[in-house]
A and B are shown apart, each in its own frame.
Chain A
Amino acid sequence: MKKTFAAILGATMMTAPMAMADDWPTRPLTMVIGFAPGGSTDIQGRVLANVMEEYLGQPVNVVNQPGGGSAVAFTRLKNTEADGNTFLFGGTTALTFTPIITPVEYEIDDFEYLAAVALGQNAIVTSAEQPFSTFDEIIAHGKENQMTYAQQTPLDEAIIRAIAEEEGLDLAIVPTGGGGGMAPLVLGREVDFAYSGGTHAQYTPTGEMVVAAFMSAERSPFYPDTPTLMELGYDYSIEDYRTIIVPQGVPENVKARLLEAAEYASESQSFKDITEGNTFFPVVFIGQEEMEANVRRIRAATEEVMAD
């Protein structure tokens, strides 16, 4: 008798919040974007928010919280209530890379990585008017001439510096402060080659810019003939998963609903059209288990590169 009572009590205690959460969400949700409006994360996020809104039946409001390559947004996210009503959409570099070089107030374990819906396409680009277009040609040219490279993050700089040392290049590396600053330097041939986090999608269709190699782990479906650095024999990659992230401790069923919404979005035509058509980011669906492992694996690999 006592046991049954306890069981019933347990069941009601379990179901009461469950029943409430089953019709979650009951109020508008907030999607945090860690970058200023207008960038690729922002564009993808806004479309994703629209599609998730369709599925969840509640408005999904986009809030931009720029600063320190999403570090500000992650700091805030860590301190928000873990009810799933506020979640972040964006890359994971602020977790796999930023904490290595800068003191920040959050760590990988403060968050859960529900689902990745798009893959970043980090690349090495050069102008079509240069005498070289493939990565091998860049290296060959560099063995004869002084070369210049435009970086955007200390990570891509560390990789290129390591390769230049390996190949014996005389390389000067300049900062650009982002994709917007990179484009004029490459197109005006002020630098020989440069890092691009996705900006190249605006310039390769016109034939002004050429992707020499991808820094991502796999080839891009949109440039099937361009190899990755790994394929060229350099053991470096920069992986960027555009992921839906919540603070640790969100109820299971809320997470499940968010995951469903993410899966629905990854199959939605409008999300695909904009993400693939305009930013050349392949749309994927990678679930929580794989993403948790990915984030930790990339962090370990990055620590290794930066330690050199």
Chain B
Amino acid sequence: MDFSAVGAAAAEALTLASFIGIGGGVLLGYVVGVIPGLSRSVAISIAIPMTFYMSPYIAISFLIGLSKGTAAGSAVSAILLNAPGEASSAATALDGYPMAKQGKPKTALQIGLIASVMGDILATIILIFVAIPFARVALMFGPYEMAAILAFALVFIAGLSGGNIFKGLAAGGLGILLGTVGLDNQTGLPRLTFGYTELMDGMPLIAVAIGTLALSEMFVQSEKLRYERGTMSVALKKDDSDRMTWPIFRRILPTILRGTGVGTFVGALPGLGPSVGSFMSYGMAQKAAKEPERFGKGEPKGIAAAESADNAVIPAALIPLFGLGIPGNVSAALLIGAFAIHGITVGPLLLRDNPELLYSIFAGMILASVIMLALGWFGLMFFAQITRVPPHVVIPVVIFFCLAGMMLQGYGTFGLIILMGFALLGYLMKKYDYSFVTFLVAFIITPMLELNLRQSIILSRGNWEILLGRPIAMFFIACTVLALVTLIIRTFRTDKAAAGAPTSE
């Protein structure tokens, strides 16, 4: 490592201009993250023109700060309103919202923040010291491996939702069906588009995610408001016991470390993205827990697992970007564009040709994490006040942001109709207890799984023996089978138990 370059980088990271630039990015990201309907990729694409007038280092750090901010900010609305700001924070809402309802909104927010910041800093450190020299390892994950990992993720995450297996299959099946809408990857022929040009690239993810998660939640809340006035707002007392304590931190620390590991792994593989990371981490935390039945009812480990992985994905997605020039996910792909506008080609040459810039960006990323902690911690008092705003004010505002966010995507009226359709679907799924998590994960994973599976089948020319030379793929196929078997056994047992003693929710 070139120490003079590191020194110069640290010096640049500590200038006033960089504080303002990065701090501004994190703050903007935080706000975008809190608002359901405004997604990370929308925020970055809107912000790119703002960076035209910044130096390359500040511009890139600003955008990375923005990404990090959205990942941390989206936890706030997930915890306080049960309306995650990003699809990747849906897992955070599973335990965050119940915990807030139990009178511990600040504790939940603090756990989310600490998990976010720790996941973020640890993954950044892994990016700096370990990953770039080893980025080529990602190339060992070809279509066979990716297909196996995706199949595992699908079965494993779907298994989380618990409940009735047939309802789970119905929800997952619907997700898979909707995931196949759009132009066929190879022939370019339209599938299930019914002649709508807008559907050629598939159902818009933001409409599906925001519709089934945030907007439908607002319907549920307004219905509650109609019949049981006022239950949405969590009474925020001046309660000194409502804060994260040392024992809680010690209890969730292993979960945070595991979540960071999962998030880094998922982020480093091109294409998987933060939603897969946070749900996978949540599932593993639940599997590892001594009392898994406490998950979904306000378990601190649930929040910690989801948030640490969600944030770890952001720096980890830069591992293949800086190491190979391959973006790990949509936001990383946007960064390539931002780099290009500033005259920088991202890839392995960056380290050789422009080490000062790369180290400055790393320094800026660490600075962004620290600013995020400060902003989140002091902003907490402010954000927690959201719960005191009466629901008849919050609900219309959130609905407005959901619709406005959809309009920003450029789908026009058509997009709004689709959004409303999915909101209705999400509402019905919540009402009749179909797992919307299973639905959403199946929808997100299906296109990637289909592409990789097709590639594998064509490349192997239908000869399955090729897998014998692919130990990583074999490992994940074994895991998938194991997860399936466990799922079947569990359903069998619950069915028996349910038959013996009917349980009530």
Which residues of chain A have a CB within 8 Å of any CB of chain B? 36-39, 42-43, 46-47, 50, 62-69, 71-72, 75-76, 98, 101-105, 146, 148, 151, 153-154, 157, 172-177, 180-181, 183-185, 187-188, 190-191, 201-203, 205-206, 208, 273-274, 277-279
Contact = CB atoms under 8 A, between A and B. Distances in A.
The 9 closest A-B pairs by CB, nearest first: A68-B200, A38-B337, A175-B186, A188-B139, A175-B185, A37-B45, A154-B188, A278-B340, A65-B410
A202 B327 CA distance: 12
Contact of B197 (A64, A72, A273): A72
B343 A203 contact: no
A202 B346 contact: yes
B189 A102 contact: yes
B492 interface: no
B10 to A, nearest CB: 28
A211 B63 CA distance: 32
B421 interface: no
Contacts of B271: 181
Contacts of B185: 175-177
Interface SS majority for chain A: mixed
B188 A153 contact: yes
Given A101-B189, A180-B327, A68 B197 contact: yes
Best-surrounded residue of B44, B454, B455 (most CB of chain A within 10 A) = B455
14 contacts: A38-B45, A38-B335, A38-B336, A46-B49, A68-B201, A76-B412, A175-B455, A180-B270, A181-B451, A187-B324, A190-B142, A202-B336, A202-B347, A205-B349
Nearest to A66: B201
Given A36-B330, A38-B335, A177-B185, 17 more contacts: A38-B336, A38-B337, A43-B337, A43-B341, A46-B49, A63-B410, A67-B200, A72-B197, A102-B200, A173-B186, A176-B185, A176-B451, A183-B324, A183-B325, A188-B140, A188-B142, A205-B349
Contact of A151 (B52, B140, B186, B412): B186
Candidate in A68, A76, A172, A176 with the most chain B CB atoms within 10 angstroms: A68
Contact of A174 (B45, B188, B198, B459): B459
A283 to B, nearest CB: 15
A37 B326 contact: no
Contacts of A202: 325, 336, 345-347
A103 B193 CA distance: 11
A255 B461 CA distance: 53
Contact of B454 (A103, A153, A174, A190): A174
Contacts of B186: 151, 154, 157, 173-175
B200 A72 contact: yes
Contacts of B173: none
Nearest to A153: B188
A185 B143 contact: yes
B474 interface: no
A43 to B, nearest CB: 5
Contact of A203 (B139, B347, B412): B347
B142 A185 contact: yes
Interface in B112-150: 138-143
Contact of B340 (A36, A43, A75): A43
A233 B201 CA distance: 36
Contacts of B324: 183-184, 187
A209 B184 CA distance: 27
Nearest to B346: A202
A103 B195 contact: yes
Interface string B173-200: 0000000000101111110000101101
B200 A37 contact: no
B48 interface: yes
Given A43-B341, A104-B197, A273-B343, A187 B139 contact: yes
A190 B145 CA distance: 12
A271 to B, nearest CB: 12
Contacts of A66: 201, 410
Contacts of A50: 52
A43 B52 CA distance: 12
A279 B336 CA distance: 11
Contacts of A172: 458-459, 461
B355 interface: no
Nearest to B414: A72
A183 B326 contact: yes
B333 interface: yes
B459 A184 contact: no
Contacts of B139: 184, 187-188
Interface string B43-59: 01100110010000000
A273 B459 CA distance: 39
A20 to B, nearest CB: 29
A144 to B, nearest CB: 17
Contacts of B190: 102-103
B458 A274 contact: no
Contacts of A39: 337
A177 B183 CA distance: 10
Nearest to B333: A38
A184 B270 contact: yes
B164 to A, nearest CB: 35
A171 to B, nearest CB: 10
B334 interface: yes
Contacts of B103: none
Contacts of B410: 63-66
A155 to B, nearest CB: 9
Contacts of B333: 36, 38, 180
A67 B340 contact: no
B24 interface: no
A65 B335 CA distance: 19
B325 A46 contact: no
Nearest to A101: B188
Contacts of B200: 67-69, 71-72, 102
Interface centre among A38, A62, A75, A175 (most CB of B within 10 A): A38
Contacts of B343: 273-274, 277-278
Nearest to B41: A37
B187 A154 contact: yes
Contacts of B198: 67, 72
